[in-house]
Structure 1
Amino acid sequence: MKVLLLGPQGCGKGTIGQMLSEKIGVPLVSVGGLLRSLNPESSYYKTVKDQMEKGVLVDNQLVGMIIKQELDDPKYAKGYIFDGWARQMSDLNIFDPGFDFVVVFEMLRETSIKRISGRRLCEVDGKTYNVNTLPKEELAKCPGKLIQREDDTEEAVKKRLEIYYTKTMEVVNYFDKQGKTIHINAEPLPEAIFADLIKKLEK
């Protein structure tokens, strides 16, 4: 099974994607994760890093190449769940495996901004914390300093949202016409979102 996840920043695609991965037994491919884990010795490392820090989409030809290299791994033989691809129609000209389902997460822009701009990484254990939603006791569990990724600032988030509501919505409309989309309200807690998704997948 090949599933594509689409939705604005902060909608929980990664969390729900991991839950779905465990449920149906195929790997989750986080394109953002692939890009962030690039070897610094790679010839395109600097280009990718610079574009991500500016809050713009990384060159899709470059991302397509990285994705194709990743999918050569036999672990993807039974399918995969994609998070972070097909953000614009031109992406599908580079890589379109023929997705069985396209899950579209929907939420308010204000919620996206609040969730992402409040996100921090613990510099010691790498765990993610949200200063806007977690109590101080939880934030204190980080054994080091909480840092904000450059592409998580409010300004960078707004730029990425603008891209989503223009270019990515064209992709959503494209898959809507094919009858492949499942629209999900991403405002509730992850457990409720996942239950709604499974219910709709089983129809």
Structure 2
Amino acid sequence: MVSQNRRYIFLGPQGSGKGTQAKMLADMLGLPHISTGDIFRAAVDQNTILGHHIATGLSSGKLISDEDTNSLMADRLAAQDAKNGFILDGYPRTMAQLEFLEQLAPPTKIFFLDLSDNEAVKRLVGRLVCSGCENVFHLAHKRPKIKGVCDNCGGELAQRDDDVETAIRERLRLYHKETEPLISFYEKDGRLIRVDGRPDIKTVHKVVSEVLQL
């Protein structure tokens, strides 16, 4: 049984910093940071039929099916390290996923990092991701000490194939269509916390920490 009082979700458009904030909170609380992106990439690496479906969706900028996403998420939340709670990053994305999670392990609080589409595009087109630890850098705002090399593990930094403007705009369009009803759902029942996604990382983290009285 997953602990009921430490189930937190970070939602927001691509580029809002939800992954960074989720990881910071997970490290602070000693809980697993569970990202749909990490789960998808792990499935792709396994080279299964499901992995091929996911690879096709990721390369075209489309959302992965609810059935596939829910199946992978159920397996992940059943792991021993998630028994005392978890920090979800980017899940659920649709009402079908929300309903699945409500039955599986209802979240305690949902942090929505609000960011405009133009700001999201600006952030993402300059993003560099480590091939080793997946630490994120930015050409304008967070440059690595050595060009092309991760400060954390020494891995190679590169731009993701789906971090070009056309793919980003399509992902944002799908995000608004599929995800905004979730915001309304969680807001109505009082679990949603709106956080301005524009400030720097430390400022946003401080807001999240204050909400949880940490």
Q: Confirm or deny a common fold (TM above 0.5).
A: yes
Aligned twin of 1:94: 100
74, 80, 90: which is aligned to 1:84?
Answer: 90
The letter of the residue matching 1:194 is: H
What is the distance in 2 between the residues matched to 1:12 and 1:163?
18
Aligned twin of 1:155: 166
Deviating more after overlay: 91-100 vs 144-153: 144-153
Shift of 1:145: 6.7
Give 4+ residue runs of structure 1 displaced > 6 Å after superposition: none
C-alpha RMSD of the superposition: 2.2
Q: Secondary structure at the match of 1:152?
A: coil
Q: Aligned residues, how many?
A: 202
- Normalised to the residue count of structure 2, the TM-score between the two structures is 0.85
168, 174, 180: which is aligned to 2:185?
Answer: 174
Aligned twin of 1:140: 147
1:18 to 2:23 alignment: yes
Aligned twin of 1:52: 58
Q: Cα 1:58–1:194, aligned 2, differ >3 Å: closer, same or farther? A: same
76, 79, 88: which is aligned to 1:73?
Answer: 79
Q: List alignment gaps of at least 5 residues for structure 1.
A: none
- Normalised to the residue count of structure 1, the TM-score between the two structures is 0.90
What is the distance in 2 between the residues matched to 1:121 and 1:77?
30
Instruction: Indicate if the aligned counterparts of 1:114 and 1:132 stay in contact, CA closer than 8 A.
Output: no
* 1:70-125 CA distance string (max 9 Å, x none): 12211111010111212111212333321100100011211100111111235677
Aligned twin of 1:196: 207
Shift of 1:189: 0.8
Q: List alignment gaps of at least 5 residues for structure 2.
A: 1-5
Shift of 1:167: 2.0
Instruction: Indicate if the aligned counterparts of 1:131 and 1:139 stay in contact, CA closer than 8 A.
Output: no
